[in-house]
Structure 1
C-alpha cells in the first residue's frame, strides 16, 4: 500500500536560491508538466459547463469582450498581475514566468481538443475530474520550487504589505475577480463552489508526493523541524 509522506511546508526561496537548489533536471520538467495539466484542467472545467474557479470566471468574462481566446486572456492577465509585483517588491522565479505563458497555451489546446459532454453525469464527472487534476497540477508546479504563479505571488505580496492574513487577502481578491467576472458573463455554478472548497485540501494532499526534495533545501515539516536532505 502506498504510504503517504508526512504533511510539510516548502521553504520559501528567492529566485537565485530556487536555481541553486539543484535537481533542475527533475524540477523543470515537473514544473512544465504541472503547468500543462493545470491549463488542461481549466479547459475541462469550461467544457463541463458547471462553473469555474474565481480567476477563470474573470478570464472567461473578459474573453467575451476582447478579441482574444480564453488562454490568451489568461496570459495577458498573468502578465499584468506580474507587473503589479513591482511595487510589492516581489521577485518572480523561472516558474512564475513559465506560468504566465504555458497555462494559457495549454488551456487553449485543451479547449480545441475537448468537447462539451451532453449528459448531466458526464458534465459532473468532468467537473470533478478537472478539480482533482487541478489540485495535482498545482501541487506539481508548487513542488518544483521554481517560483509561485503571478496570482499567488500577488496575494502573498499584498498580505505582506498590508499586514493582513493571507486568507483574508485571498478571499477579498478572489471575491472581487469573481464578482467582476460574473458581471462580464463568466460562468458561476456548482463547480465554483466545489473548487473553492476542495482545491486547498487537494493541493495539500498531493504536495507530499510530488514536492522535489532538493539537496540544498530539503523540506520543512509542519512542526517546524527541518528534515535532513541527506
Structure 2
C-alpha cells in the first residue's frame, strides 16, 4: 500500500490546486465505485461489506460507506492516528458520490457492457486514488487504519492489509455482498496502476522559489 508524506497544515501557494484535485479525486473515486458495483461482476473489497450491510440495513451503499468510514475513523483514536482534511472529506464525499452515480447509471444486462463498466471503474479508481493521495492532505480512513496497525503491531504492510481485507470481504460476502471476478481484477490491477499514475498527480505544497544570488531583487 502506498504511503504519503504527512502534511501538518493547510499551507502553500498551491493549496487551491491541491483542494480542487482532492475533491475531484474523491468524487471520481465514488463514481468509480458505482461503476464497479453496477457491473455486478464483483465489488472492491470494502464495497463487498458496504453492499452486504446496505442490503441488511435497508440503507443506500453510500450511506453505509459513510457510516463505516466514520466508525473506522474512530478506531484511529487508540492507534494515535491524526486525520487530515483529506481524511474527513474522504468519509463524506465518496459516499455522496457513489449514491449520486448509482442514481444515474443503470445496471446493464449484457455481459460486454458489464465488463466495460468494470474496466472503466478500475481505471477511473486508479486515477482517483492517485489524485487524492497525491495532494498529501491525509490518507483515507481505511488506509490510515492499516498504517496505524502496522505501526502498533510491527507487522508487515502486506500482512496487515491482507488480513483486514480478508475479514472485510468475508464478512461482506456472508452478509450478501457481491464477490467475484471484479474483486480479483481490482485487487491485482489497482496497485500497479496507482504506482504509475501517482508521480504524475503528486502535488506537494510548494515553498516560495528561492532566488539566485545574481537575480535582481523582487519589486516592492
Q: Structure 1 length normalisation: TM-score?
A: 0.87
Instruction: Tell me the number of residue pairs that the alignment of Structure 1 and Structure 2 aligns.
Output: 207
Q: Identify which of 190, 198, 203 aligns with 1:207.
A: 198
Alignment-derived partner of residue 66 in structure 1 = 57
Cα deviation, residue 22, structure 1: 4.3
Cα deviation, residue 144, structure 1: 1.0
**Structure 1 residue ranges, 4+ long, deviating more than 6 angstroms after superposition:** none
Alignment-derived partner of residue 26 in structure 2 = 35
Alignment-derived partner of residue 15 in structure 1 = 8
User: Take 1:71 and 1:133, find their aligned partners in 2: how far apart are those partners?
Assistant: 18
The question of whether the paired residues in 2 share the 8 Å contact of 1:15 and 1:147 is answered with no
User: Take 1:146 and 1:183, find their aligned partners in 2: how far apart are those partners?
Assistant: 35
RMSD: 1.5
Deviation string for 1:165-199 (max 9, x for gaps)?
11110000001000000000000111000000001
Residue aligned with 1:39, SS: helix
Alignment-derived partner of residue 116 in structure 1 = 107
The question of whether the paired residues in 1 share the 8 Å contact of 2:39 and 2:115 is answered with yes
User: Take 2:207 and 2:39, find their aligned partners in 1: how far apart are those partners?
Assistant: 42
Deviation string for 1:16-68 (max 9, x for gaps)?
3xx13441110001000000000000000111111001100000000011132
Larger Rg: 2
Alignment-derived partner of residue 98 in structure 1 = 89
Q: 1:206 to 1:70 in 2, by over 3 A?
A: same
Q: Structure 2 length normalisation: TM-score?
A: 0.91
User: Take 1:99 and 1:198, find their aligned partners in 2: how far apart are those partners?
Assistant: 22
Q: Identify which of 138, 152, 161 aligns with 2:143.
A: 152
User: Take 2:139 and 2:158, find their aligned partners in 1: how far apart are those partners?
Assistant: 16
Alignment-derived partner of residue 183 in structure 1 = 174
Residue aligned with 2:57, SS: coil
Structure 1: give runs of 5+ residues left out of the alignment.
1-8, 218-230
Structure 2: give runs of 5+ residues left out of the alignment.
209-220
Cα deviation, residue 124, structure 1: 0.5
User: Take 1:87 and 1:62, find their aligned partners in 2: how far apart are those partners?
Assistant: 25
1:163 aligns with 2:151: no
Deviation string for 1:189-221 (max 9, x for gaps)?
11000000001111111111111143249xxxx
Alignment-derived partner of residue 127 in structure 2 = 136
The question of whether the paired residues in 1 share the 8 Å contact of 2:42 and 2:181 is answered with yes
Residue aligned with 1:212, SS: coil
